């Protein structure tokens, strides 16, 4: 059976705990998890779930990446993805330089279509394609927006910054994702678009969700509601409002607030009844299916794994569902199956996630920890699990 490498999440937690001059019992007293679990995670006997890592990061006052080891540079270099990050970083720094006279720009409708295509690439989990095309798209849209100053172009530029954020998060470059969100706000203000501004607050909230700062995340969602609440009551605004409620539901779940979870899911359900499938609205995938997926994710975050699997059995994923959402569902399902002792089913789910969205799955911390957990609890390692372990560098 494969061994965990010496540099796993538990090892990093142990190192950071010692730097903070805390014993295991002292750290355990600061997080909503037992001393026994902390001990097992540090020695590599149990995987460090995303919620566990967030709680430890908050208690130790360090970034989550200090514990997860993101970005996973070795794998990124193997996949030739790391070399695509610097051009994105440079393109994000062009925002206040005005138009570049060396860049010819296409007509507005073609630039808007290009921005939409980038969003589509991310939802289809074609991260390499999106990352390769992003720098040129940002540079061209930046120049076009400065030259023309139209609302459509500022909106398209804000959307492209949002894509830069999405790609950065999925590859583990969270510092870059924060820069992209700042640029998104800058462009959304010039577009005077409340829906884009509200979406930016939603994404900021998810940053704090990942870091375990749930109160700040909830305040950002509230700010997003205030922004979109001032907009015209359109289907677009309703979809954005519903997505804000879904974001709030998983934040509340991580914070252990069942009543608040139920309230936000109920509000999102009401919004979805009005909009129907609104997947096309800002590429949020909002609609009844996404509400069901977030209800299941909330159960996973609250460690209600049996309930999560019960809900999973009732969810019917439409063919039109974004690949990124489909893969996220499979990763949640695999975690729940592993935690309830259904190891064969968990392996099937995580292998399916890999086939569905290989780049997203390889760099998803939850998927990686589930694979590590399956390796530890397997008496003998099936070939498929051995291949998965090697694939994530185990």
- Structure confidence by residue, pLDDT tens digits, 197-207: 999 999 999 99
Whether the predicted pLDDT of 45 surpasses 60: yes
Q: What is the helix (H) or strand (E) element at residue 62, kind and residue range?
A: none
Whether the predicted pLDDT of 4 surpasses 90: no
Whether the predicted pLDDT of 2 surpasses 60: no
More confident residue, 389 or 156: 156
Whether the predicted pLDDT of 389 surpasses 50: yes
As a residue count, the chain comes to: 394
CA-CA distance, 222 to 200, in Å (whole number)? 12
**pLDDT at residue 375, rounded to an integer:** 86
How many C-beta neighbours within 10 Å does residue 29 have? Answer: 11
**Unique residue bearing structure tokens 């061209």:** 140
Residues 19 and 50: beta-carbon distance below 8 Å: no
Average pLDDT over residues 329-337: 97
CA-CA distance, 12 to 391, in Å (whole number)? 21
Whether the predicted pLDDT of 188 surpasses 90: yes
- Structure confidence by residue, pLDDT tens digits, 152-184: 999 999 999 999 999 999 999 999 999 999 999
* Through-space distance between the first and last CA atoms of the chain, rounded to whole angstroms: 11
**pLDDT at residue 6, rounded to an integer:** 47
Report how far apart, in Å, the C-alpha atoms of 350 and of each of 259, 267, 336, 384 are: 31, 31, 11, 10
Average pLDDT over the chain reads 93
What's the CA angle centered on 305, arms 299 and 310, to 5 degrees? 85
> What CATH number matches the domain at 1-69, 1.10.260.40, 1.10.10.60, 1.10.1060.10, 3.40.190.10?
1.10.260.40
- Structure confidence by residue, pLDDT tens digits, 130-159: 999 999 999 999 999 999 999 999 999 999
CA-CA distance, 150 to 127, in Å (whole number)? 29
**pLDDT at residue 3, rounded to an integer:** 42
- Structure confidence by residue, pLDDT tens digits, 252-304: 999 999 999 999 999 999 999 999 999 999 999 999 999 999 999 999 999 99
**pLDDT at residue 37, rounded to an integer:** 93
pTM: 0.89
CA-CA distance, 272 to 281, in Å (whole number)? 12
Residues 385 and 374: beta-carbon distance below 8 Å: yes
Whether the predicted pLDDT of 357 surpasses 90: yes
**pLDDT at residue 47, rounded to an integer:** 82
Q: For the chain, what are the domain ranges? A: 1-69, 322-394
Task: Tell me the two tokens of residue 308.
Answer: 């999560």
CA-CA distance, 30 to 291, in Å (whole number)? 33
For 161, the 3-state DSSP assignment is helix
More confident residue, 303 or 7: 303
How many C-beta neighbours within 10 Å does residue 148 have? Answer: 15
Task: Tell me the two tokens of residue 338.
Answer: 């592993």
Classify 213 in phi/psi space as left (phi over 0), alpha (psi -120 to 50) or beta: beta
- Structure confidence by residue, pLDDT tens digits, 110-130: 999 999 999 999 999 999 999
Q: What percent of the chain has pLDDT over 70?
A: 97
Of 64, 48, 43, 36, whose CA–CA distance to 370 is shortest?
A: 48
The overall longest dimension of the chain from CA atoms, in Å, is: 64
**pLDDT at residue 22, rounded to an integer:** 95
Whether the predicted pLDDT of 372 surpasses 90: no
**pLDDT at residue 381, rounded to an integer:** 60
For 392, the 3-state DSSP assignment is coil
Of 198, 182, 186, whose CA–CA distance to 234 is shortest?
A: 198
Burial bucket for residue 199 (CB in 10 Å: 0-12, 13-18, 19+) = buried
**pLDDT at residue 380, rounded to an integer:** 58
């Amino acid at each position: 059976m494969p061994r965990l490498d010496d540099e796993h999440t538990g090892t990093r937690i142990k190192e950071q705990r010692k730097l903070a001059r805390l014993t295991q019992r002292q750290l355990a007293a600061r997080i909503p998890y037992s001393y026994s679990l902390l001990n097992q995670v540090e020695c590599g006997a149990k995987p460090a779930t995303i919620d566990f890592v967030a709680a430890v990061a908050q208690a130790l006052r360090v970034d989550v990446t200090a514990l997860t080891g993101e970005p996973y540079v070795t794998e990124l270099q193997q996949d030739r993805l790391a070399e695509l990050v610097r051009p994105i970083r440079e393109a994000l720094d062009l925002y206040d330089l005005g138009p570049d006279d060396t860049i010819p720009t296409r007509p507005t409708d073609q630039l808007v279509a290009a921005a939409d295509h980038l969003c589509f690439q991310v939802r289809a989990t074609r991260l390499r394609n999106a990352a390769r095309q992003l720098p040129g798209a940002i540079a061209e849209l930046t120049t076009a927006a400065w030259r023309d100053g139209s609302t459509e172009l500022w909106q398209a530029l804000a959307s492209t910054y949002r894509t830069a954020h999405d790609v950065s998060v999925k590859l583990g470059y969270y510092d870059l994702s924060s820069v992209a969100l700042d640029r998104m706000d800058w462009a959304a203000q010039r577009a005077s678009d409340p829906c884009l501004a509200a979406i930016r607050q939603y994404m900021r909230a998810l940053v704090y969700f990942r870091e375990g700062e749930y109160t700040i995340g909830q305040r950002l969602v509230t700010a997003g509601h205030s922004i979109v609440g001032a907009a015209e009551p359109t289907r677009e605004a309703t979809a954005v409002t519903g997505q804000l409620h879904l974001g709030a539901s998983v934040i509340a779940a991580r914070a252990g607030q069942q009543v608040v979870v139920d309230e936000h899911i109920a509000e999102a359900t009401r919004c979805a009844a009005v909009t129907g499938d609104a997947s096309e609205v800002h590429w949020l995938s909002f609609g009844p299916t996404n509400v069901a997926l977030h209800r299941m994710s909330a159960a996973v975050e609250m460690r209600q794994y049996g309930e999560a699997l019960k809900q999973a059995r009732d969810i019917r994923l439409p063919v039109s569902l974004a690949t990124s959402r489909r893969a996220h569902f499979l990763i949640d399902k695999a975690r729940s199956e592993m935690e309830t002792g259904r190891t064969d089913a968990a392996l099937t789910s995580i292998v399916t996630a890999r086939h569905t969205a290989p780049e997203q799955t390889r760099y998803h911390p939850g998927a990686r920890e589930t694979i590590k957990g399956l390796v530890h609890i397997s008496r003998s390692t099936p070939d498929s699990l051995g291949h998965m372990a090697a694939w994530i560098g185990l």
